[in-house]
Structure 1
């Protein structure tokens, strides 16, 4: 799952560099959401490995 999110983030970054300003704002918002989802997925994996929440 994290690999797919990483690919999606890279695609959004590339797309943000080649669009107009209005479209860029929307892509940046999507990029931030994807980064948050990636961070949550990584945290969930860490919990599964350790069995307790990170400190």
Structure 2
């Protein structure tokens, strides 16, 4: 899941750099949402790993 979010973030960053100014605010908002989702997913994975015994 985090890999997909990372790819989506990179796509949004590229799109934000090459779009017309009218679309930029919407893309930046989507980028902020994707970054927040990635942070939440990463935190959830870290919490799951903390409960596992070392391998």
Same fold by TM-score greater than 0.5:
yes
List alignment gaps of at least 5 residues for structure 1.
none
List alignment gaps of at least 5 residues for structure 2.
none
**1:7 alignment counterpart:** 7
Q: Which has the higher contact order (CA 8 A, sep 6+)?
A: 2
| TM-score where L is the length of structure 1 | 0.90
Aligned length: 51
Structure number with larger C-alpha Rg:
2
**1:41 alignment counterpart:** 41
| TM-score where L is the length of structure 2 | 0.90
Which ranges of 4 or more aligned residues in structure 1 deviate by more than 2 Å? Answer: none
- Root-mean-square deviation (CA, aligned residues, Å) is 0.5
Q: Measure how far apart 1:22 and its partner are.
A: 1.3
